[in-house]
Amino acid sequence: MILSYLTPYIFLGAAWAKILYAGVNESGGEFGVFSSTGTVGTGLPGEFGVNYAFINKSTVDIFVDQEKINFFRVTFLMERMCPLAFGLGSKFNETYFAEYADAINYITLEKGAYALIDPHNYMRYNDPSSQPFSGSVIGNTSDPTAATTQQFEQFWHEIALRFVRNPNVVFGINNEPHDMPTELLLQNNQAAINGIRSAGAHQLILAPGNGFTGGHAWTQVSGDNDAPSSDFLNKLVDPIRNTAMDVHEYLDIDFSGSHAECTQPGPSNLANLTTWLRENNLKAVLSEFGGGNNENCFEEVDTLVKYLAANDEWIGWSIWAAGPIWGPNSPCCGPDTGSLEPGQVNDLGEPDAFTTVWANAIRPNIPKNLKKSGISSLQ
Ligand SMILES: *[C@@H]1O[C@H](CO)[C@@H](O)[C@H](O)[C@H]1NC(C)=O
Ligand SMILES: *[C@@H]1O[C@H](CO)[C@@H](O)[C@H](O)[C@H]1NC(C)=O
Ligand SMILES: *[C@@H]1O[C@H](CO)[C@@H](O)[C@H](O)[C@H]1NC(C)=O
Ligand SMILES: *[C@@H]1O[C@H](CO)[C@@H](O)[C@H](O)[C@H]1NC(C)=O
Ligand SMILES: CC(=O)N[C@H]1CO[C@H](CO)[C@@H](O)[C@@H]1O
């Protein structure tokens, strides 16, 4: 077990709930690699500011200074951090790392917010051309081209060493693992925790589940009969008990975030996971969710965020997605939504989701008492 409080929580409900982290995904660092023909190597290494970019410092200022959020999930691509010629491990592309570290340091050291380090790789490494389905599953011993679990541990050890003195980072082990044995996911998550802690880093770690880390499916089988995340993830061991679950939940029909209608109710779909968290004395962060530019979604997103605030097991959230290079394309939930990046437009040339979804469903729910200082943690 990751957490085991000496005094079990017996008080439930809003009065005791505490959201520590609230914010937005900063997407863009993983961009420019998709190939409809699956051409291996597409978009690698890519050009900074053209194919990929991490943040726009001016919009981070808007989020922190005006919106008063304290949490940014910043994506990157492991094949850029660890080029294929080096392999997954501790040897980085120092140019890419410096660009990424500049974004993380701005958010944390300059603005005083927390930054979730997000390798956006679906627990795969070596071919991001058609993510989320291309590339070898890390630790697949039947695949000679797959990176090993030990390499994954070295990779995380190195990231942790480089941020060991920055209390405001949070380590997100990987984005949306899927279609892999849940036993192997447990093993890889454990390796990442071991790599981070052996570097002397004490910051909060977020461990993802299987099935695209979907909250609704946490206690169900996913993929081709892969065991439920709930069967394994309570077996993780963090020697300093500072690990939480990393959960995603979209509100459209198939939980993909690709439809404009919000027809999946967040609270009832997350109820089984919340019960499991409580039974195992675990906490979770909802690091991706979203809704489209319409009244029904505003209401459903509002209901979801209020549910998180009312349940003590949830300590944070970040909505998908802002980021500097989305342009008018909607990263979530219907074509005319647009991104959450302040100052941009949707595909109709109208103000984007910062003006619609954020204004209607997020801004009213930003807690006033978010964590302001101290090492990232469960409390
Ligand atoms: C490292 O990243 C930079 C910036 O994207 C790129 O120009 C360079 O080619 C990369 N080097 C390797 C070895 O991938
Ligand atoms: C592991 O690799 C083998 C051989 O390439 C492949 O058949 C299998 O589907 C892979 N497993 C996963 C979970 O990707
Ligand atoms: C919650 O778990 C119960 C018991 O396993 C199951 O019957 C129900 O379908 C689950 N609910 C959801 C929304 O997954
Ligand atoms: C960064 O954001 C500011 C504020 O919205 C905007 O004026 C500026 O054009 C943006 N810069 C880039 C490069 O997108
Ligand atoms: C659930 C979801 O929509 N995830 C998407 C997040 O955005 C990246 C692109 O940056 C997609 O690859 C994911 O599918």
Question: What per-residue confidence (pLDDT) applies to 29?
Answer: 72
Ligand minimally distant from the alpha carbon of residue 33: 5
Question: What per-residue confidence (pLDDT) applies to 76?
Answer: 97
Distance from C-alpha of 219 to C-alpha of 252, rounded to nearest angstrom = 19
Is residue 41 situated within a structural domain?
Answer: yes
Tell the residue nearest (CA) to atom 7 of ligand 3: 272
178 touches 171 (CB < 8 A)? no
Helix runs in 129-237, H state only: 149-163, 182-198
176 in catalytic set: yes
Is residue 373 situated within a structural domain?
Answer: no
Among 126, 141, 143, 224, residue to substitute to test ligand 2 (most atoms within 8 Å of Cβ): 143
Ligand 5 centroid–CA 4 distance in Å is 33
pTM listed for this prediction:
0.92
Number of domains present in the structure of the chain: 1
Residue percentage of the chain with pLDDT more than 90 = 87
99 in catalytic set: no
CATH number at residue 26: 3.20.20.80
Question: What per-residue confidence (pLDDT) applies to 168?
Answer: 98
333-343 pLDDT per residue, tens? 988 999 999 99
Residue ranges making up the domain that contains 198: 14-365
Is residue 305 situated within a structural domain?
Answer: yes
Q: Are strands 136-137 and 124-125 parallel, antiparallel or unpaired?
A: antiparallel
pLDDT band of residue 24 (cuts 50, 70, 90) is low
Ligand 3 residue neighbourhood (C-beta within 6 Å): 216, 219, 268-269, 272
119-148 pLDDT per residue, tens? 999 999 999 999 999 999 999 999 999 999
Ligand 1 atom having least distance to the Cα of 83: 14
Question: What per-residue confidence (pLDDT) applies to 11?
Answer: 35
Is residue 84 situated within a structural domain?
Answer: yes
E strand residue ranges, the chain: 21-26, 71-76, 114-119, 124-125, 136-137, 169-172, 205-208, 243-248, 284-288, 314-322
Ligand 4 centroid–CA 59 distance in Å is 7
Is residue 6 situated within a structural domain?
Answer: no
* Amino acid making up residue 379: Q
307-356 pLDDT per residue, tens? 999 999 999 999 999 999 988 888 999 889 999 999 999 999 999 999 99
Is residue 3 situated within a structural domain?
Answer: no
Residue percentage of the chain with pLDDT more than 70 = 94
- Regarding the beta carbon of 34 and ligand 5, being less than 6 Å apart is answered no
Is residue 292 situated within a structural domain?
Answer: yes
Is residue 54 situated within a structural domain?
Answer: yes
234-257 pLDDT per residue, tens? 999 999 999 999 999 999 999 999
Residues 6 or more apart in contact with residue 377 via CB below 8 angstroms: 203, 204, 242
**Average of per-residue pLDDT values in the chain:** 93
pLDDT band of residue 26 (cuts 50, 70, 90) is low
